[in-house]
Structures are given as structure tokens and as C-alpha cells.
Amino acid sequence: MKNLRSLTGILLLLAVSAAGAGGWLYRHPEDLPRLSQTLEGLLPGVFAKSLQPDSEQENTTDILAAIADGNRILREARLRLSHSGSSLSANLLQMIQTPEQTYRGTGRFVQSTQGKSLFEVQMEMNGLVGSMTQVSNGQVIWLIQELQASPASETSSPEGFSREQVIDRVDLQRVHSYAQDFKVSPQDPRIAKETLGGIAGLLASLEYRMDFQLLKKVRLQDEPLLVLQGEWKISPSARTFSDSFVAEVAQASVPDRVRLYLRERDLLPIRYICLKRHPRANSWYAPLAIELTDIVQDAIIDSSLFNYRPPADQVPNDITHQYLHRLESLLNPQFATTQPPEYK
């Protein structure tokens, strides 16, 4: 499973940064150029100058008011996306960065009029091709993680390695039923982050774990965008993990802040950027950046995309109990503790 853990280490960046290259740094992260225009031009080992310190706000009242406004915008973006009533398809550009390496990936995001979603990304690393696919059809969430030797890099693939796959399954009906026992609205971010798939689920997780402020307004190809910046409600250093490997990945990849670029006219998330201070330089790097491109609204969606079935020879891992355990720690006072819950 060593190779699969290598894949998991990369894919966990998607989850713990919410749940995805040396040298992708800019002086002002809000001025990041369009990813699709710069993807091929990024060179490892080229670090920009350090960011300028954030300007101080005048007083606590102003800060709290700004946070309230930012959180309201984020919640509205999540509700609009999850209840849009229209279909959406888009391609994805993704970059995952450590202080030493950069991984580039591509994928797609599809959402139906019923809120069903497909989110998939793929990237090549060290002679291996890793992919993650999440399918949410309202009844079940499937998460498929796969690692296989790259056809173009057979000589650099680990000796004797061909393919590994892990399939996880979440029974959403059980999760919803459990939440109903506590009379908690499905729109509560504590519930939504567990039951929504795709980008709406990411927004719900951010809403639950971070406080956001409206940083500025920008334009991208003549499209007005709102830029939200989020910081943790509870410091990542205060969190614990049951698995030491997950803890190690989290420590290395959990961002210090997040930037969301929302299309002003409908609050659709166009770009998601995680930022982390470099451990050995007075600068920042991006553990994860995702941009939606080629967006088509009211797209014609093939309903079979959401009808995933695992291979007959592979038994999926039912991880519903993990979701129920998290909800129990949040909703049931008998089991509530002062310890912050684990990352999703």
C-alpha cells in the first residue's frame, strides 16, 4: 500500500485544504493570473518576493462586521450552487504545490438540475498517474481513488507496480436520518459539509471551518469577481488526528488562509486558492489551486454519469460510520467534547 499512500498524500490535500511544483509564488496572491494562461509557464524553484503584511483594520467591531459580511456571501454562494435548479459543466485546472515540487492536474465538474454531482481530477507524479473521482447522486457518495503506472513513464514507475484502487461509499440516507433525529436543518453547515458533494460540499466545509472577509473586487476577462479571504476559526495546530500519516500530511499541507474568487453576478466559485507560509522563506506557496474553465450553464448532462457501480470483484469500503461519528460529536451533547473535530 506504499504507493497508494503516496497517492493518498496528494489527494488528501484536496480534503484537508477544504476536501488537491516548487515555485508558484506571487507578491500579491489576489493578483494571480489566470491559471489556464500560466500553467505551462510555471517553473520550479522560482520564488517571488515575500507578501506585504495585511493592513490592520481599525477595531474589533469593524473586523466582526467584515467577517459577518464575508460569511454571509459565502453561505449565499453555497446555497445558490446547491439549489440552483440548473445544470452546470466545467473543466478543471488544478495545481498542488509543496515547497519542493509542483503537480499539475486536470479534471471536470458536473452538476445536474437535481443537485447530483461529479468531481474528478487526474495528475501524473513520479511515473504514476493518480486520480480521484467523487460521485454524489443524492442517495450515495462514492469516492474512487486510483493509482496506476503511467503508460508514458514505464521506466520510472515503481518496480512491479501496476494499479491500486480504493473505493469508499457513504450512505447519505443514513446521514440525513441521523441529522433529522436531532432536528437539525439540512442547510446547517455541520450537515451540509457531510452530505453535499462537489464544489457545494467544499463551500459548506469552508463555511463551517473558516471565517471569511470580502478582500476586494477584481475583473477577470471583463467578468467582475468578488475575492473572499478565509482564515481558520480554530487553529489547525489545535486539531488532532487518529492516523499519524494523515497528521503528517495535514501539517505539511493545511493552508494558513484560503482565497475564493466568486463570479459577482451569481456567486459561482471560479477559483479556489490555498495559501501557506513557506517554512524556509519569507514567502507563500499554494498547496492547492483549482480553477473552473469552459463553464457551460444549463448544459445537457448525461444522467448515467451519476450511476456509478463498483467493479464486481471489488468490495467498497462503507465509511458511513465515520460521518455519523463526526455528526454525533457535533450534535449530541452527551458525546460533545472541547476537542475540535477531525478534518473531513
Q: What are phi and psi of 139, to 5 degrees?
A: -105, -40
Q: Give tens-digit pLDDT for 254-312.
A: 899 999 999 999 999 999 999 998 888 888 888 899 999 999 999 999 999 999 999 99
Angle at 271 between CA 190 and CA 16, to 5 degrees: 45
The pLDDT score that the predictor gives to residue 226 is: 97
The CA distance from 342 to 46, in Å, is 34
Structure-block grid coordinates of residue 153: 513513464
- Give one word for 267, left, alpha or beta, with left for phi > 0 and alpha for psi -120 to 50: left
Beta strands in the chain (DSSP E): 88-97, 102-111, 117-125, 128-136, 140-149, 163-171, 210-220, 223-232, 257-263, 269-277, 284-285, 288-297, 317-318
Structure-block grid coordinates of residue 5: 499512500
Q: How many residues does the chain have?
A: 344
Instruction: Say if CB 210 and CB 274 are below 8 A apart.
Output: no
Please state the pTM of the whole predicted model. Answer: 0.79
Comparing C-alpha atoms, which of 222, 221, 223, 199 is closest to residue 74? Answer: 199
- CA 160 from chain centre, in angstroms, equals 32
Task: Name, in order, each residue with C-beta under 8 angstroms of 36's C-beta and a sequence gap of 6 or more.
Answer: 93, 291, 293
Instruction: Say if CB 167 and CB 142 are below 8 A apart.
Output: yes
The CA distance from 50 to 283, in Å, is 4
- CA 193 from chain centre, in angstroms, equals 11
The pLDDT score that the predictor gives to residue 238 is: 62
Structure-block grid coordinates of residue 138: 443524492
Instruction: Say if CB 319 and CB 134 are below 8 A apart.
Output: no
- CA 17 from chain centre, in angstroms, equals 6
222 vs 154, higher pLDDT = 222
Q: Is the pLDDT of residue 177 over 70?
A: yes
Q: Which helix (H) or strand (E) holds 209?
A: helix 198-209
Q: Dihedral of CA 22/130/92/113: which sign?
A: negative
Residue appearing with cell numbers 443524492: 138
Q: Is the pLDDT of residue 52 over 50?
A: no
Instruction: Say if CB 323 and CB 201 are below 8 A apart.
Output: no
Structure-block grid coordinates of residue 247: 497528521
Instruction: Say if CB 211 and CB 70 are below 8 A apart.
Output: yes
Q: What is the DSSP string of 236-263?
A: GGG---SSHHHHHHHHHH--SEEEEEEE
The pLDDT score that the predictor gives to residue 239 is: 67
The pLDDT score that the predictor gives to residue 31 is: 34
281 vs 6, higher pLDDT = 281
Comparing C-alpha atoms, which of 82, 120, 124, 121 is closest to residue 102? Answer: 124
The CA distance from 190 to 192, in Å, is 6
Mean pLDDT in residue range 303-328 = 94
Where do the domains of the chain lie? 2-32+58-331
CATH superfamily, domain 2-32+58-331, is Lipoprotein localisation LolA/LolB/LppX (2.50.20.10)
Mean pLDDT in residue range 159-182 = 88
Q: Dihedral of CA 305/173/209/7: which sign?
A: negative
Q: Give tens-digit pLDDT for 86-113.
A: 999 999 999 988 888 888 999 999 999 9
